[in-house]
Amino acid sequence: MKNMIKKPVVLIFSIVLVSGLLYLCTMCTKKDDDKPEAKFKLFSVYTSRFISVNEYVEFLNQSTATQPYTLTWQFEGGTPATSTEEHPVIQYKTVGEWNVKLIVADPNGMDFVEEIDYVVVSNTTDIIANFP
């Protein structure tokens, strides 16, 4: 009877040991696709990238990265001009077409995305005059 109990215990221990070793091997192997990918969008459908002077735009970080990671946002023409928040809210006080850049870095590397003329700021009268 003792012999019958030992075999399943040894088998289970062996499976756990092999599984653990396989997991460790995959953790030690760095792949190119482990590199972070910078990505963002507007926070909600209610946020527009076409705004009037002094309005706000809310951004949503959608980057893929390994903890710990850092975010650095750059908002041309925005206030504040930079942020490290996950979901920054930026005010635009000047008419123009403004670039937005997001840099993400983690232990596996760094990536960035820059959208040219992403935020379009107009005078309120310009928006009304151009409305069909």
On whether the CB atoms of residues 92 and 119 are closer than 8 A, the answer is: yes
pLDDT at position 84, please?
97
Query: For the domain 32-129, what is the CATH code?
Result: 2.60.40.10
Report pTM.
Answer: 0.68
**Domain limits, the chain:** 1-30, 32-129
Whole-number Cα distances in Å, 1 to 10, 57, 124:
15, 72, 86
pLDDT in tens, 78-131: 999 999 999 999 999 999 999 999 999 999 999 999 999 999 999 975 554 444
Task: Name the DSSP class of 107.
Answer: T
Residues 6+ apart with CB under 8 A from 89: 56, 57, 58, 59
pLDDT at position 65, please?
95
